[in-house]
Amino acid sequence: IIHDIAFLLAFLMLLVHVYLGVLHPRMNESLRSMWDGKISRTYAKNHYGKWYEEISAGKE
């Protein structure tokens, strides 16, 4: 029975992971960026503020 419970928990975690990674509306841009390598300035500023400030200032 422990094996069955572990399987159910792992499967539920997989479903949550797929939902958050692929289907969640706020993740559309990050998924799209995996294909074309581009993100919007707004997304970069909101999710990667320090990196955005460095790039905006011309530092690399």
* Phi, psi for residue 47 in degrees, rounded to 5: -100, -25
* Two structure tokens written together for 24: 């969640």
Q: Is the pTM of this model over 0.75?
A: no
Task: List the pLDDT tens digit at each of the 60 positions of the chain.
Answer: 999 999 999 999 999 999 988 888 888 888 888 889 999 999 999 989 999 999 898 866
Count of domains in the chain?
1
User: Distance (Å, rounded) from C-alpha 19 to C-alpha 53?
Assistant: 30
For residue 50, the enclosing domain spans 2-56
Residue environment code for 12-41, b if the CB has 16+ CB neighbours within 10 A, otherwise e: eeeeeeeeeeeeeeeeeeeeeeeeeeebee
